[in-house]
Structure 1
Amino acid sequence: MVAAKSNPSLWWKLSWQLSLVIVAVVAAVMLGLCVWAATIMSPNIAMEDVVGSAIAGAASRDGRGVLELKETPELRELKEQNGSLWYVAASPDGASVSFGPIPSAYAELAHLVHLFDDADIRGSALTDEVATIDSADTAVGEVRILFGGVADRGSPFLALLARSYPIYASLLAVALPAIFLAVPRIVRHALSRVSDVAERAARIEPRRHDTRLPVDGIPAEVSPLVTAFNGTLDRLEIEARKRERFLVDAAHELRTPIAIMQTRIEGMSEGPERRRLLDDVARLADTAEQLLDFERNDQATELGDLVDLVEIARTAVADLAPIAIAAGYQISFHSDVEMLERDGNAPALGRAVSNLIRNAIDHGEGKGEIAVSVSTDGAVAVTDQGPGIPVEHQELVFEPFYRVTPKSRGAGLGLSLVKQIAANHGGHVTMESDRQGTRVSILL
């Protein structure tokens, strides 16, 4: 069995995708700037840190306090790897140390190096040599370095990229957390109307065919989905109304042949066969009436009247008492209050209570008492002393056409109709059943 995949989070999806976009944009900008800078800055920039670090590590002063450069391994390696290297290192007091052949074009600058903090020297008509002046902090103070002969070593682009990391690192450090903080708010605000529509869709009742989802305020990317959903509701409404009309018409049409059959059977001579046929016709008539009641209730959801539950229950008991007594039952009515008013549909509630009493008559095995009661909490209960309903059937008996036993009397619509009427009134139905009897309550 394949596990169901959870729906992806729009917040997470937008956050990481925007993060990738930001990283890509920053990377593209930094790469572009480094490429551009590499074309205009000194080719020596790739060696500035290498030369400066080697000379800074070698700088010291002799016994007279004059600047000197010791032959450290780092400085030695620098000289060996760069055969054309030349440099002049000068302290702020003008003392200097040089290495390698200084091009004649820059020879006059040797005694002035200590005056420069940073310089890019090129374009001389006397030489193609590129020279650079850079500063280095050493153990004996600041040293100014004029060097050249290394323009072909290293990559200026990579050097510039390494030097610019404080820019893009700080930019990403600010931008990425901002994305994960801002995106949820942006998404929540953009989809707030969609959430309202989703909540409204969840409250759509099958029997309220005129309900549609609003399109106003919905993002243009989502509105086609809402429009398509409304179109589906339109088609479902058309088919539902066809079904309703068919069932109502069928129930009406069944009345005439049933009445004709009953009349013909009643004209037959007395006998067991006549009684069985009359019972079958009565059962068929009850089924047709229940179908009609089922569809009438499905279409009647107006609850504008103020009804008295006590009077409705009392009337139902009075109407069905002769049938219950004839079937071998005692029947009683009790109410905790004189009047209990609720907003509702009196005919529908009357049918619900009557169906509960009829259900008790049909399944109580013709013995014991059927008690109808009304309590102060808005519950109308019908209790019988029949054999009870097994636990595994107690939920199913509220489904249309379900019967505990195949040979049960009735079409299996009574309790389903009761549940539907209670739901239309914002209430529900409960059942308590054991071997001593069954209690079904409508709570409004």
Structure 2
Amino acid sequence: MRKPRPRSLQWVLVRRLIILQAVMLVVFLGLITLVFFVAQPRLVVDNEAAALVVGEALGRDAAGQLVLRDTEELTNFRKSFPNMWFVARDEKGGVLKQGNVPAVYASGGDGLLKSVDRAALTFAQLDLRPAASYANLETSAGRVGVLASTMSSREENTGVEANIDLQIDLARNPDGTTNWVRVGPILVILTIIMLLPIIIVMGVTTLVTTPAVVRRSLAGLVATAREAGNIDIDNRAVQLPTERVPQEVAPLVQAFNRALARLGEGYDKRNRFLTDAAHELRTPIAILRTRAELLREDPESRRLQKDIERLSHLAQQLLDRQVLDHAAGPREVVDLVELARTLAADFAPLALEAGYDLSFEPAGRPVLVDIRSQQVERAVANLLRNAIEHGGGSGTITVLVDGEGGLEIHDEGPGIPLEERERVFEPFYRLRPRSSGAGLGLNLAREIARLHGGRIDILNGRWNGTHIRLQLPLAETPAKKIRSGPAARTS
């Protein structure tokens, strides 16, 4: 089953905002449509177009009477509006009528203004007479026709004059009711035409602006998540800030901080327990070593002393492992060549006694590294001891230092299989269960390398045995006090 991908809060907000805007527009348009139906407005755009088409087709015959020419515009207009009618009257009283003219309009407009409720009076563009409004109003004095305007001449208009008169007339049945069969589809199309551009514009605007707004709003959360990604075992006591975190997410961050605190406290308790246990083991181990030395010299006593030594080494490694968690203190610039030379000399008797030859291959110049000497000495000592224990008991163990801050230890033993090269660095993992090692040496060496910003790798090659490389950071400047050897000898 495919694992579902996590949802993006940013795009969830964008989609929901677009849907919300679209729904609001539809509701708003529905309310406007309802108001239009209640107010019964009329759309006079077609009527105005009819008047203009008729006006362009009017002319006079030889007798000077009004006639209507069959122009192309008039023919096309009649195809679209077959019920068109008109009454034309000139200044001399001449009248031209065509179509089914309602009785109220048959006189050409005489007395018509007395029967209408409202009318707008406008003039040609070059005519300076101002637009006016006429209304028949029911007043305390009876029905009165009022003609009014806000200016005496269009010259008084110093800005932009806009007159908007929107009327809508719907198709009706013979009884005067609205013919929804014909009107409904047209209203749906008009609604889509009106809404679609608005939805597109608002949607594009939302897609452009909302991600930026969301990113800005979540910037504090992103910064907090970045800080959380930097938390590891060495700085587990860090608490994530909540000042810039959104209020809705702050409880989650606070719970995470409390979880970190509990984990850190438990980790410290475990470390204290291991440290105390290792310290407590040293006393009985010392007593056992003293008693073993008093025994008669025979193979059994030598094996017992070897087991006691192994137990002592394990207790020391446990102590060293816990000390790493409190690895503070200043670093110093050390010549890695001299440090490796001294450690090789210290381990030479152990290597010879175990049946190996020991070779030292230094770089051709001093290699200055910025380290904590005692920790690195412990790491190199563990690598050397590991080579002596698992190198097969024959051949040559080589200690090599290069000019890049690398220290390599080679043996000619059975080597480590490729599939086991990561697991051997796990604590208490032993490649061979019957091995005399405790499984902490390589883990301790890797932790020391990591604390110094370096690393340990098992190298690949066609050689026999195991080649392990410890990479340490080179010193940026030789201004610090340079140590030429280990701070404490390890044997």
TM-score clears 0.5: yes
Alignment match, 2:130: none
For residues 35-79 of structure 1, give each alpha carbon's deviation from its aligned partner in whole angstroms, at most 9, with x where no partner exists.
Answer: 12222233x66x9979x99xx9xxx99998537999x99878x8x
Task: Tell me the SS of whatever aligns to 1:373.
Answer: strand
Alignment match, 2:144: none
- Name whichever of 302-311 and 199-208 sits farther off: 302-311
Cα distance in 2 for residues equivalent to 1:88 and 1:116: 21
Alignment match, 2:35: 36
Alignment match, 1:203: 230
Alignment match, 2:240: 213
Cα distance in 1 for residues equivalent to 2:97 and 2:193: 34
Cα distance in 2 for residues equivalent to 1:148 and 1:191: 55
Aligned partners of 2:88 and 2:108 also within 8 Å = no
For residues 225-245 of structure 1, give each alpha carbon's deviation from its aligned partner in whole angstroms, at most 9, with x where no partner exists.
Answer: 222111111111100100110
Q: Write the letter of the residue equivalent to 2:471.
A: L
For residues 268-326 of structure 1, give each alpha carbon's deviation from its aligned partner in whole angstroms, at most 9, with x where no partner exists.
Answer: 22333222222222221111111111111233155533333223222321222221111
Aligned partners of 2:333 and 2:369 also within 8 Å = yes
Higher helix proportion, which one? 1
Provide closer, same or farther for how the CA distance between residues 4 and 399 of structure 1 changes in structure 2, counting only shifts above 3 A: same
Cα distance in 1 for residues equivalent to 2:282 and 2:451: 27
- Aligned pairs for 1:73-222 within 5 A: 88-90=85-87, 95-99=96-100, 102=102, 151-155=176-180, 163=190, 167-222=194-249
Task: Tell me the SS of whatever aligns to 1:386.
Answer: coil
Q: Write the letter of the residue equivalent to 1:40.
A: A
Alignment match, 2:358: 331
For residues 165-190 of structure 1, give each alpha carbon's deviation from its aligned partner in whole angstroms, at most 9, with x where no partner exists.
Answer: 55433322211111111122112222
Alignment match, 1:440: 468
Q: Percent identity?
A: 34
Task: Tell me the SS of whatever aligns to 1:352.
Answer: helix
Q: Write the letter of the residue equivalent to 1:38.
A: F
Aligned partners of 2:407 and 2:470 also within 8 Å = yes
Structure 2 gaps, min length 5: 62-66, 113-118, 123-133, 139-168, 473-491
Task: Tell me the SS of whatever aligns to 1:241.
Answer: helix
Are 2:68 and 1:66 aligned?
A: yes
Are 2:14 and 1:4 aligned?
A: no
Alignment match, 1:259: 286
Task: Tell me the SS of whatever aligns to 1:37.
Answer: helix
- Name whichever of 267-276 and 369-378 sits farther off: 267-276
Cα distance in 2 for residues equivalent to 1:261 and 1:169: 91
Are 2:406 and 1:379 aligned?
A: yes
Alignment match, 2:307: 280
- Cα deviation for residue 246 of structure 1 reads 0.6
Task: Tell me the SS of whatever aligns to 1:207.
Answer: helix
Provide closer, same or farther for how the CA distance between residues 341 and 211 of structure 1 changes in structure 2, counting only shifts above 3 A: farther
Q: Write the letter of the residue equivalent to 1:211.
A: V
Provide closer, same or farther for how the CA distance between residues 92 and 411 of structure 1 changes in structure 2, counting only shifts above 3 A: farther
Cα distance in 1 for residues equivalent to 2:24 and 2:463: 76
Cα distance in 1 for residues equivalent to 2:108 and 2:197: 39
Task: Tell me the SS of whatever aligns to 2:459.
Answer: strand
Aligned partners of 1:34 and 1:160 also within 8 Å = no
Provide closer, same or farther for how the CA distance between residues 205 and 41 of structure 1 changes in structure 2, counting only shifts above 3 A: same
Alignment match, 1:19: 18
Cα distance in 1 for residues equivalent to 2:367 and 2:40: 94
Are 2:234 and 1:234 aligned?
A: no
For residues 77-126 of structure 1, give each alpha carbon's deviation from its aligned partner in whole angstroms, at most 9, with x where no partner exists.
Answer: x8xxxxxxxx74346876333438x466x66566799x9999xx99999x
Q: Write the letter of the residue equivalent to 2:464.
A: Q
Are 2:418 and 1:391 aligned?
A: yes
Alignment match, 2:482: none
Q: Write the letter of the residue equivalent to 1:438.
A: T
- Name whichever of 147-156 and 254-263 sits farther off: 147-156
Provide closer, same or farther for how the CA distance between residues 257 and 19 of structure 1 changes in structure 2, counting only shifts above 3 A: same
Task: Tell me the SS of whatever aligns to 1:420.
Answer: helix
Cα distance in 1 for residues equivalent to 2:34 and 2:170: 24
TM-score computed with the length of structure 1 as normaliser: 0.79
Aligned partners of 1:31 and 1:161 also within 8 Å = no
- Cα deviation for residue 33 of structure 1 reads 1.6
Cα distance in 2 for residues equivalent to 1:157 and 1:24: 20
Q: Write the letter of the residue equivalent to 1:97.
A: Q
- Cα deviation for residue 438 of structure 1 reads 1.2
- Among candidates 424, 433, 437, match of residue 406 of structure 1: 433
Aligned partners of 2:337 and 2:363 also within 8 Å = no
Provide closer, same or farther for how the CA distance between residues 437 and 123 of structure 1 changes in structure 2, counting only shifts above 3 A: same
- Cα deviation for residue 210 of structure 1 reads 2.6
- Cα deviation for residue 264 of structure 1 reads 2.3
Cα distance in 1 for residues equivalent to 2:25 and 2:170: 34
For residues 13-33 of structure 1, give each alpha carbon's deviation from its aligned partner in whole angstroms, at most 9, with x where no partner exists.
Answer: 111111001111111221112
Provide closer, same or farther for how the CA distance between residues 161 and 91 of structure 1 changes in structure 2, counting only shifts above 3 A: farther
Cα distance in 1 for residues equivalent to 2:411 and 2:355: 12
Aligned partners of 1:303 and 1:425 also within 8 Å = no
Structure 1 gaps, min length 5: 79-86, 126-145
Task: Tell me the SS of whatever aligns to 1:423.
Answer: helix
Aligned partners of 1:88 and 1:110 also within 8 Å = no
Q: What is the aligned-residue RMSD (CA, Å)?
A: 3.9
Alignment match, 2:476: none
Are 2:380 and 1:353 aligned?
A: yes
Cα distance in 2 for residues equivalent to 1:312 and 1:185: 56
Cα distance in 2 for residues equivalent to 1:98 and 1:335: 117
- Aligned pairs for 1:49-64 within 5 A: none
Aligned partners of 1:67 and 1:97 also within 8 Å = no
Aligned partners of 1:88 and 1:147 also within 8 Å = no
Aligned length: 405
